[in-house]
């Protein structure tokens, strides 16, 4: 099946009140683990590549790996750029066959973020590619964050409304207390802010940094309008954990296939578990 867009998978997720998993891939084994998990769970899936993944594997390799993996899969698969911060890089991804892109202008002043997101959308709309935007600073993991700090880092609901009204993005990444990478303690999410943003914008919300977020908080997020959930760190932990335990048991083994095979299976198990948690299993 050919690649689909965020609109194709998030529209049904809106109607069905579930979220679609977005998993980061960097190499062949990871792409295979994600697509095989989606097939076994009959789940729509978003496979995303960061700028770092593209530097590592190469743009052509990422696109052909994903297209090859989806050839026999009768599933909606989105190939999405994760955190594209450079306009030209976003354009290259569109030209090479990504069906969706994230333009991350969250480090820019609001006006500039809106202006560049609009430029991305103008091109993306013309060629049928979907766009995720970002507003707010996803990052601080500290539990003792003050209210003033929250207000400067977290997404402002009124700014979110303006951003969505002026850009028309297909999905919006917001900062409500999640962070990339492992958490030190349990993350405390600002659900009230999520609720307000969702009520004001009506747009599908993206939860970044979802590795390590407790299942109850994931479910509450979905109830309040989270429709795309990004997972990378837990995939890395499973993959690397698989390699470490294999080599601990067989330190003399030098066959990369034997070493990476169990790592891929460990990662696949995490992807399947997340698909069930997000409610997208059985929806393809």
Residue 82 known to be catalytic: yes
DSSP state of 76: -
Q: Which residues contact 230 (CB under 8 A, 6 or more apart)?
A: 22, 23, 24, 48, 82, 206, 207, 208, 209, 210
Region 81-110 residues binding ligand 13P, contact defined as CB under 6 A: 82-83
Q: Is 233 in the site for ligand 13P (CB under 6 A)?
A: yes
Size of the site for ligand 13P (CB under 6 A): 13
Contact 78, 99 (CB under 8 A): yes
Region 5-24 residues binding ligand 13P, contact defined as CB under 6 A: 24
Indicate the residue among 246 and 278 with the shorter CB distance to ligand G3H: 278
Q: Is 208 in the site for Zn ion (CB under 5 A)?
A: yes
Q: Tally the C-alpha atoms within 13 A of residue 279's C-alpha that lie toward its C-beta.
A: 20
Distances, alpha carbon 185 to alpha carbons 88, 179, 182, 217, in Å: 38, 12, 9, 14
Range in contact with ligand 13P (rule: CB under 6 A) among 10-18, 122-130, 142-150, 225-233: 225-233
Indicate the residue among 66 and 284 with the shorter CB distance to ligand G3H: 66
Indicate the residue among 127 and 133 with the shorter CB distance to ligand 13P: 133
DSSP state of 228: E
Q: Is 187 in the site for ligand 13P (CB under 6 A)?
A: no
Per DSSP, what are the bridge partners of residue 174? 135
Residue 5 touches which of ligand 13P, ligand G3H, Zn ion, none (Cβ within 5-8 Å per kind) = none
- List active site positions: 82
């Amino acid at each position: 099946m050919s690649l689909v867009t965020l609109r194709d998978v998030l529209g049904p997720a809106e109607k069905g009140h579930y979220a679609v998993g977005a998993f980061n891939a960097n190499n062949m084994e990871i792409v295979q683990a994600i697509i095989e998990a989606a097939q076994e769970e009959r789940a729509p899936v978003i496979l995303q590549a960061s700028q770092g993944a593209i530097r590592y594997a190469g743009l052509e390799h990422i696109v052909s790996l994903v297209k090859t993996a989806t050839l026999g899969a009768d599933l909606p698969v989105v190939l999405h750029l994760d955190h594209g911060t450079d306009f030209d890089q976003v354009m290259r991804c569109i030209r090479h066959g990504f069906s969706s892109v994230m333009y991350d202008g969250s480090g820019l002043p609001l006006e500039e973020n809106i202006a560049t997101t609009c430029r991305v959308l103008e091109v993306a709309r013309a060629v049928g590619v979907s766009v995720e935007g970002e507003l707010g600073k996803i990052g601080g993991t500290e539990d003792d964050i003050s209210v003033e700090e929250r207000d400067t880092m977290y997404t402002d609901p009124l700014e979110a409304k303006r951003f969505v009204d002026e850009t028309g993005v297909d999905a919006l990444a917001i900062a409500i207390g999640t962070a990339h990478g492992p958490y030190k303690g349990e993350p405390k999410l600002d659900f009230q802010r999520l609720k307000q943003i969702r009520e004001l914008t009506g747009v599908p919300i993206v939860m970044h940094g979802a590795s390590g977020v407790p299942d109850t908080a994931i479910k509450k997020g979905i109830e309040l309008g989270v429709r795309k959930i990004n997972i990378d760190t837990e995939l890395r932990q499973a993959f690397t954990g698989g390699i470490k335990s294999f080599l601990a048991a067989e330190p003399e083994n030098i066959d990369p296939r034997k070493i990476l095979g169990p790592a891929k299976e460990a990662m696949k198990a995490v992807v399947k578990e997340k698909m069930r948690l997000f409610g997208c299993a059985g929806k393809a």
